[in-house]
Amino acid sequence: MYKDEKMEEILETININGPAPEAEPMRQYYFIKKARIYVKELSEKAGRPLTACTRTFGCQMNARDSEKLVGILEKVGYEVIENENADFVIFNTCTVRDNANQRVYGRLGVLNGYKRKNPHMKIALCGCMMQEPSVIEKIKESYRFVDLIFGTHNIFKFAELLNATFENRGMVIDIWQDTDKIVEDLPIERKYSFKSGVNIMFGCNNFCSYCIVPYVRGRERSRKPKDIIREIEQQVADGVVEVMLLGQNVNSYGKNLEEPMTFAQLLKEVEKIEGLERIRFMTSHPKDLSDELIEVMKNSKKICKHLHLPLQSGSTRILKAMNRVYTREQYLELAQKIRKEIPDIALTTDIIVGFPGETPEDVDATIDMVRQVKYDNAFTFIYSKRTGTPAAAMENQVPEEEVKQGFDRLLKVVQETAREQVAKYQGQIMDVLVEEINEHDGSLLTGRLSNNTLVHFPGDASLIGKIVNVSLDECHGFYYVGHMVE
């Protein structure tokens, strides 16, 4: 990403009276410059700055994409606010489970109310949900007040599409089926000054049978290592001390590069960046987790002691139906190897309950895995039928009541195990990266251990973004209360 001054220099050189350049990212700079004029005019008419709000649903990838949206919105002159009653509102949507979709429809109803009072308001939708044709049909039919819709593959075109909403009447819709394009060097506005997500790859090739992600995020594409390193170096120069390398399946990073490279090799390069203190990554598929990666993690001073390793189910029969390509035994062996090599690592996971054909015995097998692996935390989900995935067409969908029972049984054990795991460090002094003032008590700071556990302790805002030593005095289930030590 270019620095602000460099972006302004580029914008200076662009002639918006001529046609738009074909090449990216210059084309988008052209539209940024054009949009600035529209925003300025509207703001003068209104006699106040124009405001914009982004709402993010779903995962860390979406959170990072929203920073790209905010980057553009600020560059074209919007004042970005938290309130959805704004002049431009964009929802970056998720469709991994149906409840995320329902929330978007619910919020849209509220936005419609705001728009009636502010007719110049513009409403945009983007992200995973928009890659589903049935969703587009529904919006065209029942949510006519939406001004702009685009998907996951052309988010880099946001400046261009924003312009289109100023120049067209009616709904602007631009959805791509797939892309092999990765556009670098567009504006991004980070939410936190000291930590940042960094995309290392996009898409997923795994086609787990319940999952809609491969259909809405497309095939795997890795960014070039030099672009990733350059981005992180710039972030570090700008005050970032912790990066989260993002991909749906980071362990298959680099396979499709012109000069192939493994994820472990990439990590070694990131480790060399001076001034960077912590490296996290998300998400790992167990089938691709190499010994090389374990070795690199073990020897690293910067890679955090945390691995998120989605299990999904502890029953080999269900894993097979899910197309996860590992057995219960293989997963367990891997988890034990990781715990042996890196004893203080926190293992976290994702689990789905209620996959078609799952019996209470399968849930027992999952619960047993939770006990054996001793997860430090687990995200448990009720299976959600996603149209177009193989699992949606399976006949033996599990009745809701049975799913609920299995879910509750699992959750109880997940919580027990997590409490035990988190409590292991009571009384120790550990490094904490201070993230923010505590939400409930302004005299406390909230930070994170390398293993991702939250810690609250007395301190002042000047420490935000710094790594400090904290004594972990009391364990309260999932977090610690402590005090700073020299």
Angle of helix 26-46 relative to helix 4-13, nearest 10 degrees, comes to 90
Q: Could you tell which of ligand 5AD, ligand SF4, none binds residue 386, using a CB distance below 5 to 8 A set by kind?
A: ligand 5AD
Q: What are phi and psi of 360, to 5 degrees?
A: -60, -30
Q: What residue type is assigned to position 333 of the chain?
A: E
* DSSP single-letter state for residue 476: E
Query: CA 338 to CA 354: how far, in whole Å?
Result: 28
Q: How far is CA 357 from CA 350, 399, 404, in A?
A: 19, 10, 15
* 61 part of the interface to ligand SF4, by CB under 6 A: no
User: The tokens of 231 are what?
Assistant: 């981005």
Q: What residue type is assigned to position 364 of the chain?
A: D
* 352 part of the interface to ligand 5AD, by CB under 6 A: yes
Q: Which span sits near ligand SF4 by CB under 6 A: 68-76, 111-119, 199-207, 392-400?
A: 199-207
Site for ligand SF4 in 364-403 (CB under 6 A): none
* DSSP single-letter state for residue 21: P
User: The tokens of 185 are what?
Assistant: 């060097």
Query: CA 463 to CA 282: how far, in whole Å?
Result: 26
Residue 151 CB, shortest distance to ligand SF4, in Å, is 16
* 386 part of the interface to ligand 5AD, by CB under 6 A: yes
* 453 part of the interface to ligand SF4, by CB under 6 A: no
Report the Cα–Cα distance between both ends of the chain, in Å, rounded.
37
Nearer to ligand 5AD, 32 or 378 (CB): 378
- Interaction mask 69-98, ligand 5AD, x per CB under 6 A: ---------------------------xx-
Please pick, from the candidates 54, 95, 101, 206, the single residue that binds ligand SF4 as defined by CB under 6 A.
206
* 95 part of the interface to ligand SF4, by CB under 6 A: no
Site for ligand 5AD in 196-215 (CB under 6 A): 210-211
Nearer to ligand 5AD, 59 or 183 (CB): 59
- Smallest CA-to-CA distance from 65 within 173, 178, 188, 248 is with 188
Contact 188, 235 (CB under 8 A): no
Query: CA 98 to CA 112: how far, in whole Å?
Result: 22
Number of DSSP helices (H) and strands (E) in the chain, helices first = 14, 19
**Could you tell me how many residues of this chain bind ligand SF4 (CB under 6 A)?**
10
Q: Which span sits near ligand SF4 by CB under 6 A: 66-74, 200-208, 390-398, 463-471?
A: 200-208
Contact 256, 202 (CB under 8 A): no
- The 3-state DSSP composition of the chain as helix, strand, coil percent (nearest 5) reads 40, 20, 40
Please pick, from the candidates 76, 211, 244, 303, the single residue that binds ligand SF4 as defined by CB under 6 A.
211
* 308 part of the interface to ligand SF4, by CB under 6 A: no
Nearer to ligand 5AD, 39 or 410 (CB): 410
- Smallest CA-to-CA distance from 385 within 354, 351, 349 is with 354
Please pick, from the candidates 38, 105, 381, 425, the single residue that binds ligand 5AD as defined by CB under 6 A.
381
* 204 part of the interface to ligand SF4, by CB under 6 A: yes
Please pick, from the candidates 366, 384, 450, 453, the single residue that binds ligand 5AD as defined by CB under 6 A.
384
* 383 part of the interface to ligand 5AD, by CB under 6 A: yes
Site for ligand 5AD in 266-325 (CB under 6 A): 310, 312
Residue 209 CB, shortest distance to ligand SF4, in Å, is 9
Nearer to ligand SF4, 208 or 244 (CB): 208
Angle of helix 291-299 relative to helix 328-341, nearest 10 degrees, comes to 20
Please pick, from the candidates 24, 42, 59, 214, the single residue that binds ligand SF4 as defined by CB under 6 A.
214
Nearer to ligand SF4, 16 or 325 (CB): 325
Contact 100, 65 (CB under 8 A): no
Residue 289 CB, shortest distance to ligand 5AD, in Å, is 15
Q: Which span sits near ligand SF4 by CB under 6 A: 38-46, 74-82, 102-110, 211-219?
A: 211-219
Nearer to ligand SF4, 42 or 382 (CB): 382
Contact 71, 189 (CB under 8 A): yes
Tell me, rounded to whole angstroms, the distance of Cα 84 from its chain centroid.
Answer: 21
* 248 part of the interface to ligand SF4, by CB under 6 A: yes
- Smallest CA-to-CA distance from 241 within 171, 170, 168, 302 is with 302
Q: Return residues touching ligand SF4 (CB under 6 A).
A: 204, 206-208, 211, 213-214, 248-249, 285
Q: Return residues touching ligand 5AD (CB under 6 A).
A: 96-97, 210-211, 310, 312, 350, 352, 381, 383-384, 386
